[in-house]
Structure 1
């Protein structure tokens, strides 16, 4: 089974795709951060809950809103055939991210003694940053898996007059024609 360069994107193309994905992940994540901090602030100031309880409540609400953004905007083109598996993994990795965030907050409040509201917010920012990196890698790797591209088999040696098999073969032939044209133009100069 032969593969073409059209089916294997270059490193630059992969990085461009990853940067676009990271920006969209950031937009959804930023909306989750706004929800998270707003609920956290209401819980510690308005409801006078303990900081760890406030953090868990705020993070759970943000996880719900983020799932909607990830599933229906960022990763809408990803495989959704096994939604039960996706939701289970999303909740598992989101819970692990919440433990990272809550662990940093608990460490700063209970071990370092940083317990003013603004110190708690600063610890929450640090924990959220660590949890976000973990979530980004987890979501894109295991939760929202890419739909596998169909593989077309092309003969290793193909007659130049034979009809191309599939879009990948058409692209490969077009690239060969362009390369031959460049060589012809270079010789003419």
Structure 2
């Protein structure tokens, strides 16, 4: 019996393990990219979180302005990490092109986080100001919900449009295993 990435169904537990390994081998590059993206994003998230809270508490900036400043700083750090580590194996299409597209998609990601923050702070905050106009509510809406939704969008858009497909020699092979 043969297990391939084309979808043959295994009939015993031994071939299921083979199918699992086949699938793992097929998506290893994606798992590796996702892990690196997550690590770079974790560092950028820490910077974003810290700058946002310093801007709000120490510099006494308005909520949406503080989030914009923190996101721009964090996005710059993330660009360097993603360009030169996460997707360093991918073809380069020009630093200016990648930088402009990266920041365009980061602007969309920022808009997602700002929308979550605006809905919480100003929308729900006008109804329940004691709950939704607090430091905790601002952090949950901007740095948890907004960041999660923005991150999903950014991973997809960076991979699809900014850091284009791998060079031919780096493309993952189609693996076929015969038992």
* TM-score, normalization by structure 1: 0.72
Give secondary structure in 1 for the equivalent of 2:90. coil
Answer whether contact 2:64 2:114 (CA < 8 A) is retained: yes
Q: Matched residues in 2 for 1:93 and 1:28: separation?
A: 16
Choose which of 116, 119, 123 in structure 1 pairs with 2:134: 116
Q: Is the 8 A contact 2:89 2:167 kept in 1?
A: no
Query: Does residue 79 of the first structure (1) align with residue 91 of the second (2)?
Result: yes
Match of 2:147 among 117, 125, 128: 128
User: Are 1:17 and 2:29 matched, yes or no?
Assistant: yes
The reply to whether residue 146 of structure 1 matches residue 146 of structure 2 is no
- Structure 1 runs of 4+ with >4 Å offset: none
Structure 2 partner of 1:95: 107
Could you tell me whether the CA contact under 8 Å between 2:56 and 2:62 is conserved in 1?
yes
Separation in structure 2 between the aligned mates of residue 112 and residue 33 of structure 1, nearest angstrom: 25
> Aligned residues, how many?
148
Q: Which has the higher contact order (CA 8 A, sep 6+)?
A: 2
1:137 has 2:149 as partner:
no
1:50 corresponds to which of 51, 55, 62: 62
> Alpha-carbon deviation of 1:16?
2.1
Secondary structure at 1:80 match in 2:
coil
Task: Classify 1:26/1:14 alpha carbon distance in 2 versus 1 (closer, same or farther; 3 Å).
Answer: same
Q: Quote the offset at 1:106 in angstroms.
A: 0.7
Question: Equivalent of 2:53, from 17, 33, 41?
Answer: 41
Shift, 1:45, TM fit: 0.2
- The residue number in structure 2 matching 1:155 is none
Counterparts of 1:107 and 1:46, CA distance in 2 = 24
Give the match for residue 161 of structure 1. Answer: none
